[in-house]
Chain A
Amino acid sequence: MRKAIEVKDFSFRYRNASSSTLKRISFAVDKGSFFCIIGANGAGKSTLCNALVGLIPHYFVGRSKGLVQIEGVDVAKTTIAELSKTIGLVFQNPFNQLSYTAGTVAEELAFGLGNYGVPREVMHEKVLQVARLMHVEELLDKNPLDLSGGQVQRVAFGSAFIMEPSILVLDECTAQLDPLGSEEIFNIVKDLNSSGVTVVMVDHDMERVAQYADQVMVMRKGKVAALGTPREVFTNPRTPDWGIDVPDYVKLGRGLQSAGFDLDELPIDESHAVQTVRGLL
């Protein structure tokens, strides 16, 4: 079995909603790949994330059709607890991730492990390890609710990552962090991905998406508008119709082309753009 995620003809309508948030979505994510989901706000990206980790249909009430499979397991036929051994979600709003039962950051990080009956010593060691990685070791004794937005985001990320899921879903997980903070988190995500973890990431930073993604899926009004490599998606002339901004490097390439410069291909990332421009000078 090579697919980490398979979604077939999946639709979902929240209870009391006038229309479906997800409409006949189909896609697959290869094991170990870096898969990005982009699209305007309200396109259904967060709802899709909830469907991948089982919050739909097990927590959010509504009507769903079609199939979501995580490593071959039908999400609808298992439990969130069972799924959480395989797939972890870092929420867009980190405050939604907190257990609200933990008195300290250390307890918050240990929460998931505690639910699986992991021995105390192992848990302690893992909490320290993750706290160091996420730069929150000095906050371990603090109350999670006393932290800044950026700090909560690090704790939220740590509490998903500590479970060592083989698939990590990141829903705009760095919105509260400054550029250096996001860079640090992305380096960790990249390392996890290189070590074999499948990453599904929702992000508005198109330069970052172009740099990291193996595959990019564009969502629009609950549907899949496009799916392909970053190059295929970002150089597609239809991108403006999808409500997304292409990376500035692509815009630069197009600007140079319309000024009469002959480019072999449009640059999609920084190093490629630098190389392209050097070729013109």
Chain B
Amino acid sequence: MKIVVEHLRHAYPNGYCALQDVNLTFEGSQPVALIGQNGAGKTTLAKHLNGILRPTSGRILIDGVDVATAQTAQWARKVGYIFQNPDDQLFLDSVRKEFEFGPHQLGVSDEEIEHRTTRIAELVGLEKKLDSHPFDLSPTEKKFCAIGSVLMMNTGALVFDEPTCGQDKIGNDRLAAIISRLKDQGKLCIAISHDMKFVTRNFPRVVLMRKGQVLLAGSREEVFARQEILQKAYVAPPPITRVAQEVGMAKPVFTVEAFTEVIRQAGQKGKERG
């Protein structure tokens, strides 16, 4: 899957210009995080990736085809979009029906739908809740129901808008497992997130936005090395990275293991010199 964004500009009907000349390429299966303050244009950009929003000017190419050439329903087969608020997405009276709706619209066979339902319900942790009404689910379960119903479409790419909002440790661990599974299946995951711990743990690629523009796009190491630009965009690195920067480590560090290794090496160098 390859999504190319070329000179994308988007102005809302009230005249507010949410995106100005955005150029990006999303390719392969390395998960990508979109980060930046509220109002930076992350959701507006994400909603262009499967045609929910259309460019004011510029274009989006999905596997080489201009999004403008087909209706949003067609692109929903290629790129799944999981809304920030599950209430914006869920509308049926059981989890099972939510799961079946998308693939049914695409003409997937009943047998295949049943097979997918079992597999995905287990992945999102709702195997015992398939016959529950979405309104009876906890907020976390609702979020996973929304994720599951989009995974059911078996699209090549998935866009998650703030998947961690309100999740506890168990929810975040499950989300990480889902993203890792999708990556192993060769699918492209793109997520909007404010949670830098979650971002640096699960997303090797990062796009930093501010005021409708892309400030940085690259590996998490490249992006988190640019401290001044991050500061300008009001993004604070995650705790371990901050400590590493405070004590003067040259490269960004994201894990306890990497951090410990740097300290160990520094200690050895110290001994050699001493």
Q: Which residues of A contact B (CB under 8 A)?
A: 39-42, 92, 148-150, 172, 175-181, 204, 207, 243-245, 247-249, 251-252, 254-256, 259, 261, 270, 273-274, 277-278, 280-281
Q: B259's contact among A40, A41, A42, A252, by CB below 8 Å, is which?
A: A252
Within the assembled complex, what's the spacing in Å between the Cα atoms of A243 and B168?
Answer: 8
Given known A248-B239, A274-B247, contact A255–B168 (CB-CB < 8 A): no
Q: A255's contact among B140, B166, B196, B260, by CB below 8 Å, is which?
A: B260
Give chain A residues whose Cβ lies under 8 Å from the Cβ of B239: 207, 247-249, 252, 270, 273
Q: Is the beta-carbon distance between B246 and A41 smaller than 8 angstroms?
A: no
Question: Which of A175, A178, A244 has the largest count of B CB atoms less than 10 A from its CB?
Answer: A178
Give chain B residues whose Cβ lies under 8 Å from the Cβ of A249: 239, 243
Given known A41-B171, A178-B194, contact A252–B240 (CB-CB < 8 A): yes
Given known A261-B263, A277-B263, contact A175–B165 (CB-CB < 8 A): yes
Give chain A residues whose Cβ lies under 8 Å from the Cβ of B234: 178-180
Give chain B residues whose Cβ lies under 8 Å from the Cβ of A180: 37, 234
Q: Is the beta-carbon distance between B169 and A243 smaller than 8 angstroms?
A: yes
Residue-by-residue, is B209-250 near A (CB-CB < 8 Å gives 1, otherwise 0)? 000000000000000000000000011101110110011000
In the assembled complex, B257 has its CB within 8 A of some CB on chain A: yes
Give chain B residues whose Cβ lies under 8 Å from the Cβ of A270: 239, 242-243, 246
Q: Is the beta-carbon distance between B256 and A251 smaller than 8 angstroms?
A: yes
Q: A41-B171, A42-B140, A281-B267 are in contact. List 12 more A-B contacts (CB 8 A).
A: A40-B169, A41-B168, A41-B170, A92-B166, A177-B38, A179-B196, A179-B235, A179-B236, A247-B239, A252-B239, A274-B246, A281-B266
Q: Is the beta-carbon distance between B169 and A256 smaller than 8 angstroms?
A: no
Within the assembled complex, what's the spacing in Å between the Cα atoms of A207 and B85?
Answer: 25
In angstroms, how far is the closest chain A Cβ from the Cβ of B227? 15
Number of A-B contacts (CB under 8 A): 97
Q: Which residues of B contact A (CB under 8 A)?
A: 37-38, 84-85, 138-140, 165-172, 194, 196-197, 234-236, 238-240, 242-243, 246-247, 256-257, 259-260, 263-264, 266-267, 270
Q: Is the beta-carbon distance between B166 and A243 smaller than 8 angstroms?
A: no
Q: A277's contact among B165, B166, B247, B264, by CB below 8 Å, is which?
A: B247
Q: Is the beta-carbon distance between A178 and B139 smaller than 8 angstroms?
A: no
Give chain A residues whose Cβ lies under 8 Å from the Cβ of B84: 149
Q: Is the beta-carbon distance between B166 and A172 smaller than 8 angstroms?
A: yes
In the complex, the chain A residue whose C-beta lies closest to that of B242 is A270
Q: Is the beta-carbon distance between B170 and A40 smaller than 8 angstroms?
A: yes
Give chain B residues whose Cβ lies under 8 Å from the Cβ of A256: 259-260, 263
In angstroms, how far is the closest chain A Cβ from the Cβ of B168? 5
Within the assembled complex, what's the spacing in Å between the Cα atoms of A5 and B84?
Answer: 35
Within the assembled complex, what's the spacing in Å between the Cα atoms of A77 and B104?
Answer: 55
In the complex, the chain B residue whose C-beta lies closest to that of A182 is B194
Question: Which of A243, A247, A259 has the largest count of B CB atoms less than 10 A from its CB?
Answer: A259
Given known A41-B140, A248-B238, A249-B239, contact A280–B168 (CB-CB < 8 A): no
Given known A175-B165, A178-B37, contact A41–B260 (CB-CB < 8 A): no
Q: Is the beta-carbon distance between A176 and B37 smaller than 8 angstroms?
A: no
Q: Which 10 interchain pairs have the tightest Cβ spacing?
A: A255-B256, A248-B239, A245-B169, A180-B234, A178-B38, A259-B260, A274-B246, A41-B168, A273-B243, A40-B168
Give chain B residues whose Cβ lies under 8 Å from the Cβ of A42: 138, 140
Within the assembled complex, what's the spacing in Å between the Cα atoms of A19 and B15?
Answer: 53
In angstroms, how far is the closest chain A Cβ from the Cβ of B250? 13
Q: B166's contact among A39, A40, A175, A179, by CB below 8 Å, is which?
A: A175
Give chain A residues whose Cβ lies under 8 Å from the Cβ of B140: 41-42
Give chain A residues whose Cβ lies under 8 Å from the Cβ of B256: 248, 251-252, 254-255
In angstroms, how far is the closest chain A Cβ from the Cβ of B59? 28
Within the assembled complex, what's the spacing in Å between the Cα atoms of A280 and B266?
Answer: 9
Give chain B residues whose Cβ lies under 8 Å from the Cβ of A204: 166-169
In the complex, the chain B residue whose C-beta lies closest to that of A176 is B165
In angstroms, how far is the closest chain B Cβ from the Cβ of A161? 21
Within the assembled complex, what's the spacing in Å between the Cα atoms of A150 and B138?
Answer: 22
In the complex, the chain B residue whose C-beta lies closest to that of A92 is B166
Q: Is the beta-carbon distance between B267 and A41 smaller than 8 angstroms?
A: no
Q: Is the beta-carbon distance between A280 and B243 smaller than 8 angstroms?
A: no
Give chain B residues whose Cβ lies under 8 Å from the Cβ of A207: 239
Within the assembled complex, what's the spacing in Å between the Cα atoms of A277 and B166?
Answer: 32
Within the assembled complex, what's the spacing in Å between the Cα atoms of A243 and B240?
Answer: 21
